[in-house]
Amino acid sequence: MINLAKPEIWFICGSQHLYGPGPLKQVADNAQKIAEGLAKSSRLPLKTVFKALLTTPDEIAKLCLEANSDANCAGLILWMHTFSPSKMWIRGLNVLQKPFVHLHTQFNAELPWDTIDMDFMNLNQSAHGDREAGFIHTRMRLARKVVVGHWSDPEVHDRLGAWMRAARAWHDWQGARIARFGDNMRQVAVTEGDKVSAEMTFGFATNGYGVGDLVAEIKKVSDAAAAKLVSAYEAEYSVAPELRKGGKRHDSLIDGAKIELGLRAFLEAGGFKGYTDTFEDLHGIKQLPGVASQRLMADGYGFGAEGDWKTAALVRAMKVMGEGLPGGTSFMEDYTYHLPAGGGQVLGAHMLEICPSIAKGKPTLEIHPLGIGGKEDPVRLVFDAAAGPALNASLIDLGNRFRLVVNEIKVVEHPKLPKLPVARALWECKPDHKTGCAAWILAGGAHHSGFSYSVTTEMLEDFATIAGIELALIGPDTRISSFKQDLRANEVYYHLSHGFRA
Ligand code: MN
């Protein structure tokens, strides 16, 4: 994936000096073993590094400041092997800006019934040490995940793994740059938002760039470079005969390749992680970027169409979360419904820009007219998406805060669609079509989304927790009456908790 760092997770153990140097040495050794065990787990995407055994307020504050300033630290795992009186933690936790997870584990797995004595009890006392830590986290209103279980348990690794993926995406967003070519598609509301508030809340910056700057990059692309990319297209996709060398529309494919190379050069030069464009502002570009946006997404760029910079950033974050897992992630749009009696399915697509990471089989590279935008016909990849469990996520700006709306879905097979000239996915919403769509609409979810097979609800929940934003989850257990009540309660909670700083 382009522009992706592999940060570390710091493992921090808390204790105190009540127990003397012998037990503390044992505590540090045990913590080191746990960190090493986590570092070896293939279920965990980031390396866990044992950083410190902390026993005083000064050590704790110093460590938290170090974590803040270390660009390679994506988050902290906190664990209280013994009792670590939590007033010691207030000063450090007050300044800590990195995400943390509270791992409620114990070094020893099974009780040694015949030999257990007070030394054993004192060494393995996270059962109450971690409760003392939990109190101060809650008292300080700190957002965190709590993972419970023995540190060797694969299920514990999966919970930590989901959190690490969220923490990695959060780390990736800090200082990230999203390029916006042109403004919003006129009069569309949901793609708008407060870019200042977004940078304050999320850490990524969205700034506008003249489409002329992009045109200048496209003009710089040589015929030789375009021909080389066209050869790569022919190797990777089933290219329509009219687009192949000697075909009557081969020039359109060359234009498409030049758009990709120009766009790529612009994004690389600016160190961007995502971008948005709009078909209403493409002055000087021959076609709406189709295959270009599709392939850039496949390389890890976040994308949102029609000025939708929030979805561009979200798609990037989701690609980072899902990194290395089976199944892809794409920009998506709810397009049209299949509504037989008693059922309901969503056919998702876009004018062009669906990422081939979600393709079932080899995409075809085709050219068809586009009824809007007044440009030449764009080249695009056409494919079906694979069947299987997936989800849609939408990040909206409610004026006083952001909300992340998530709907778990099931992607299903569909009949051939010989006349549909775009990539597509057919899915069923959970818990059912009527409830799922009603909840999404009540929550204000956009028609645009980040669509993913690899990202899970748990990762997005952890991500929303780290970001401190509302999550509206629509899943198998959703009921409209309680969902509406949750939205009402969240209106009050987030209004009070964010106050004027929205
Ligand atoms: Mn759209």
Instruction: Please tell me the distance between residue 309's alpha carbon and the centre of ligand 1 in angstroms.
Output: 12
Instruction: Please tell me the distance between residue 350's alpha carbon and the centre of ligand 1 in angstroms.
Output: 6
Q: What is the pLDDT of residues 228-237, one digit of tens each?
A: 999 999 999 9
Instruction: Please tell me the distance between residue 191's alpha carbon and the centre of ligand 1 in angstroms.
Output: 9
pLDDT at 175: 98
Instruction: Please tell me the distance between residue 337's alpha carbon and the centre of ligand 1 in angstroms.
Output: 16
pLDDT at 269: 98
pLDDT at 373: 79
Q: What is the pLDDT of residues 31-65, one digit of tens each?
A: 999 999 999 999 999 999 999 999 999 999 999 99
- Average pLDDT (198-211) is 97
Find, among 101, 155, 110, the residue nearest to 133 by Cα: 101
pLDDT band of residue 424 (cuts 50, 70, 90) is very high
pLDDT at 481: 98
Instruction: Please tell me the distance between residue 399's alpha carbon and the centre of ligand 1 in angstroms.
Output: 21
Q: What is the pLDDT of residues 299-314, one digit of tens each?
A: 999 999 999 999 999 9
**CA–CA distance, 397 with 195 (Å, rounded to integer):** 10
Cβ proximity of 296 and 319 under 8 Å: no
Own/partner contacts of 340-347, CB < 8 Å, gap of 24 or more, are 343/433, 344/428, 344/429, 344/432, 344/433, 344/434, 344/437, 345/412, 345/414, 345/426, 345/427, 345/428, 345/433, 346/409, 346/426, 346/427, 346/428, 346/429, 346/433, 346/437, 347/414, 347/424, 347/425, 347/426
Instruction: Please tell me the distance between residue 442's alpha carbon and the centre of ligand 1 in angstroms.
Output: 20
- Average pLDDT (77-81) is 96
pLDDT band of residue 374 (cuts 50, 70, 90) is confident
The order of strands in the sheet holding 8-14 is 48-54, 8-14, 73-80, 100-104, 145-148
Instruction: Please tell me the distance between residue 318's alpha carbon and the centre of ligand 1 in angstroms.
Output: 19
Cβ proximity of 388 and 453 under 8 Å: yes
Instruction: Please tell me the distance between residue 371's alpha carbon and the centre of ligand 1 in angstroms.
Output: 14
Share of the chain above pLDDT 70, in %: 100
Q: What is the pLDDT of residues 3-30, one digit of tens each?
A: 999 999 999 999 999 888 888 999 999 9
Residue 129's SS3 state is: helix
Q: Near ion ligand 1, which residues have CB within 5 Å?
A: 305-306, 333
Instruction: Please tell me the distance between residue 490's alpha carbon and the centre of ligand 1 in angstroms.
Output: 28
**CA–CA distance, 480 with 492 (Å, rounded to integer):** 19
pLDDT at 71: 98
Instruction: Please tell me the distance between residue 302's alpha carbon and the centre of ligand 1 in angstroms.
Output: 15
Cβ proximity of 233 and 239 under 8 Å: yes
Q: What is the pLDDT of residues 333-366, one digit of tens each?
A: 999 999 999 999 999 999 999 999 999 999 999 9
pLDDT band of residue 372 (cuts 50, 70, 90) is confident
Q: Calculate the alpha carbon distances from 221 to 254, 283, 299, 367 in Å.
A: 11, 18, 20, 21
Instruction: Please tell me the distance between residue 39's alpha carbon and the centre of ligand 1 in angstroms.
Output: 42
pLDDT band of residue 499 (cuts 50, 70, 90) is confident
Instruction: Please tell me the distance between residue 293's alpha carbon and the centre of ligand 1 in angstroms.
Output: 13
**CA–CA distance, 449 with 19 (Å, rounded to integer):** 53
Instruction: Please tell me the distance between residue 312's alpha carbon and the centre of ligand 1 in angstroms.
Output: 12
Instruction: Please tell me the distance between residue 333's alpha carbon and the centre of ligand 1 in angstroms.
Output: 6
First CA to last CA distance, the chain: 32
Share of the chain above pLDDT 90, in %: 94
Instruction: Please tell me the distance between residue 177's alpha carbon and the centre of ligand 1 in angstroms.
Output: 21
Q: What is the pLDDT of residues 390-412, one digit of tens each?
A: 999 999 999 999 999 999 999 99
Number of other CB atoms surrounding residue 177 within 10 Å:
17
Instruction: Please tell me the distance between residue 184's alpha carbon and the centre of ligand 1 in angstroms.
Output: 11
* AA letter at 388: G
Q: What is the pLDDT of residues 163-181, one digit of tens each?
A: 999 999 999 999 999 999 9
Residue 447's SS3 state is: coil
Instruction: Please tell me the distance between residue 397's alpha carbon and the centre of ligand 1 in angstroms.
Output: 17
* Mean pLDDT score of the chain: 96
Instruction: Please tell me the distance between residue 11's alpha carbon and the centre of ligand 1 in angstroms.
Output: 43
Judged against a pLDDT cut of 70, whether residue 502 lies above it is answered with: no
- Average pLDDT (181-204) is 96
Find, among 76, 59, 108, 55, the residue nearest to 11 by Cα: 76
Q: What is the pLDDT of residues 269-307, one digit of tens each?
A: 999 999 999 988 889 999 999 999 999 999 999 999 999
Instruction: Please tell me the distance between residue 305's alpha carbon and the centre of ligand 1 in angstroms.
Output: 6
Judged against a pLDDT cut of 70, whether residue 162 lies above it is answered with: yes
Number of other CB atoms surrounding residue 119 within 10 Å:
13
pLDDT at 501: 75
Instruction: Please tell me the distance between residue 378's alpha carbon and the centre of ligand 1 in angstroms.
Output: 16
